Structure 1
């Protein structure tokens, strides 16, 4: 394995933009070489609303990451979220011309391409098509149909849809910052890769990533992604509520939330008071911690209840779809004191805080293993996977040219097909930007 190959994840968030440089070490773990972050000024609820400011923030984060890692950054894997993301379930089938031949990746590719032709609302584009399970000639619950005989191949798909303009705006910012777009990934999927174990995905788990502008949800069961949603509220609305409720400025509200905030009002006694300096010679303000946690509690409860509605939409209450591993909280907002207890109280599900150390090398910096960087770590992992696939494809082409037996290469070609649809959208966005120059 070439350990010199680096990958860069670029997490364009509402509060911060993070560029993270990583590579695989000899044990197959991800080693983070450098990290750069900048305040995100041009993004609102996960959607770019000021191109110039976003480009500047990306450049600042990338320069910082270059200085920290000692590597020149040329291409990045970008995460997308935002309130324009929605998902739907869809079933489709193909009839095979010759049922005497076994099903191969070309058949699955054909089926996936058929789903891509779904008619979307104007201005929407399919971002991910994620196969759930397959049916071959009416035989259900097949996870891997390749190598089987059958005339009719059916599948249930989880289709993630987003606004074309939002995706193009992000691509535009990345290109204008002097970077190449390596790939686009849905942020909840990146975070899930970084913080969830294989056992949790098998047992059934809901990952809740609480960011600054959005709260992302990804539900897994039997090792397969079953449901995704983006809720347009995050840590920023909590800060906004504190600002309004206590009549203080945003900077002070953010500090109050981080230092003294709690999602459980019962924890604070009435006589616990924090004093905040007044503006330009005005009297200092005194705020009781009980009031502060009441404000936080009200908003957090609203966010958690909205997420819980989405978990119910997936069908968590059905015995077959039960999420045995419960909930995993990650993202910057998950660091709020007593949030875990509140989520357990509202949902009645086991909850833990997710740290992205599942796949990180043992000597990683503790800062990197914070829930704050879950998405960025996931994007680096995604970038490394893409590189591996590219190398595998090059090797396979060489093998085919040499007319060698390629049976042992089959898993590689399966992998190639699986993600090709995501790469297609990246190619389309690149093409669009090149033509728009």
Structure 2
């Protein structure tokens, strides 16, 4: 298969690991060429806790995707990062420009963003994203794009996402040991949002709740800008755990019960609806009433939804100006629970829909790909494709065509000390610049190489 802007996303989740190969077709939509899925062993609540098992699972998923795509060879991937160690904060910073008679250019914005990267974090934490929200020039507020304006003082509000160095390194380590290169790292709620939300929703104000196995990710947009991100350290797996404990059955049975008969709304089931579960090794079968089952599920789901709603309130949803008009979008495997939409609307009083990642998929895609299960993976592939189209353009910028991509990249890096970090969601970055992400991934690669 010829490699015309084909890219690969790797979603390392708590329940499953998905490798997805995709490319952009001539209509700008995403065409999925192959998908591999494996059970995720060695990841707990979004954080790698067993390197060997994670490497095996990654290799299994990658092989599956390669076979599915009729043998495209995967060499590099864009990886999603989530986990309970992720936190985000708001920060504002400013620079005073030496010459107020010149217009503001990208170098000024780089300077400002780099200043934020130097923020002192808690020991063992590092900044993953610095996402500018709005700028002020000489006190004039609410400027979306300051480039080309005159002014002496440039300030901005930033959304800063922070994660644990060791967790990020461990993911890098796993990918590298699986024989793959790390093309970039993206915060998973941002990837899911990319795949599931429409531009109108981001403008109107929307909260994306991605209920995974180990974590529930939240991303809030308003006026087209990311305003808040959070990772809540529990997801669908705690529901399964509760069913297992509450009904004294094994995990596999609990998971099946949840998927087949589970409902988030206990009023739905009559008292006489009963499921019989085969006993272990010749023991008597167990009888479980669906009413009890949905009570157990309901209690847990309410807890997850309330946590997410707390984050939405922390963002300030109750203020008129910050109102999320488009309400809530639920995605991820956990969003497929029956009656969940009704429950979320009941608890939060906000409009809710289930988000399917078909917003950007090509029309002839396999319908399974449009399942909320794959939201993050689709978002990561989109991200990877965007990164690749940037690299291709960058290659053209460099004079001698014989240079490899990495040489082209290092040449570009020498050209400019500073970096741009426009959020991958907002605007197309300028062609000759590498996003802070790719630089950051490069730093991580160097670190891993040295650690060998």
Higher mean Cα deviation, 29-38 or 388-397?
Answer: 388-397
1:429 CA displacement = 1.3
Q: Which runs of 5+ in 2 are unaligned?
A: 401-414, 416-425
The residue that corresponds to 1:370 in the other structure is 371
The residue that corresponds to 1:68 in the other structure is 68
* Count of residues paired in the alignment: 426
CA contact (8 A) 1:132 1:155 kept: yes
Q: 1:412 to 1:23 in 2, by over 3 A?
A: same
Tell me the C-alpha RMSD between the 2 structures: 1.7
Q: 1:89 to 1:419 in 2, by over 3 A?
A: farther
The residue that corresponds to 1:403 in the other structure is none
Tell me how far apart the structure 1 counterparts of residues 378 and 338 of structure 2 sit (CA, whole Å). 23
Answer yes or no: is 1:430 the counterpart of 2:445. yes
The residue that corresponds to 2:244 in the other structure is 243
Tell me how far apart the structure 2 counterparts of residues 13 and 286 of structure 1 sit (CA, whole Å). 32
Answer yes or no: is 1:77 the counterpart of 2:78. yes
1:34 CA displacement = 0.5
CA contact (8 A) 1:238 1:299 kept: yes
1:397 CA displacement = 4.1
Tell me how far apart the structure 2 counterparts of residues 417 and 120 of structure 1 sit (CA, whole Å). 30
Tell me how far apart the structure 1 counterparts of residues 198 and 430 of structure 2 sit (CA, whole Å). 20
Tell me how far apart the structure 1 counterparts of residues 432 and 87 of structure 2 sit (CA, whole Å). 24
Tell me how far apart the structure 1 counterparts of residues 230 and 394 of structure 2 sit (CA, whole Å). 33
The residue that corresponds to 1:405 in the other structure is none
Tell me how far apart the structure 2 counterparts of residues 126 and 237 of structure 1 sit (CA, whole Å). 29
The residue that corresponds to 2:88 in the other structure is 87
Q: Which runs of 5+ in 1 are unaligned?
A: 401-410
CA contact (8 A) 1:9 1:21 kept: yes
Q: 1:419 to 1:306 in 2, by over 3 A?
A: farther
1:425 CA displacement = 2.1
Tell me how far apart the structure 2 counterparts of residues 115 and 296 of structure 1 sit (CA, whole Å). 43
The residue that corresponds to 2:15 in the other structure is 15
Tell me how far apart the structure 2 counterparts of residues 3 and 350 of structure 1 sit (CA, whole Å). 42
The residue that corresponds to 1:415 in the other structure is 430
CA contact (8 A) 1:393 1:412 kept: no
Equivalence map 1:179-218=2 (5 Å): 179-218=180-219
Tell me how far apart the structure 1 counterparts of residues 220 and 427 of structure 2 sit (CA, whole Å). 27
Q: 1:27 to 1:3 in 2, by over 3 A?
A: farther
1:4 CA displacement = 1.9
1:415 CA displacement = 3.4
Tell me how far apart the structure 1 counterparts of residues 310 and 101 of structure 2 sit (CA, whole Å). 46
Question: 1:337-393: CA deviations, max 9, x gaps?
Answer: 000000000000000000000000000001100000000000000001101111222
Tell me how far apart the structure 2 counterparts of residues 136 and 389 of structure 1 sit (CA, whole Å). 30
The residue that corresponds to 2:407 in the other structure is none
The residue that corresponds to 1:54 in the other structure is 54
Answer yes or no: is 1:152 the counterpart of 2:153. yes
Question: 1:32-60: CA deviations, max 9, x gaps?
Answer: 00000000001000000000000000000
CA contact (8 A) 1:36 1:63 kept: yes
CA contact (8 A) 2:5 2:389 kept: no
Tell me how far apart the structure 1 counterparts of residues 42 and 389 of structure 2 sit (CA, whole Å). 33
1:295 CA displacement = 0.1
Question: 1:87-118: CA deviations, max 9, x gaps?
Answer: 00000001111111111111111100000000
1:420 CA displacement = 2.2
Question: 1:71-96: CA deviations, max 9, x gaps?
Answer: 10000000000000000000000111
SS of 1:415's equivalent in the other structure is coil
The residue that corresponds to 1:406 in the other structure is none
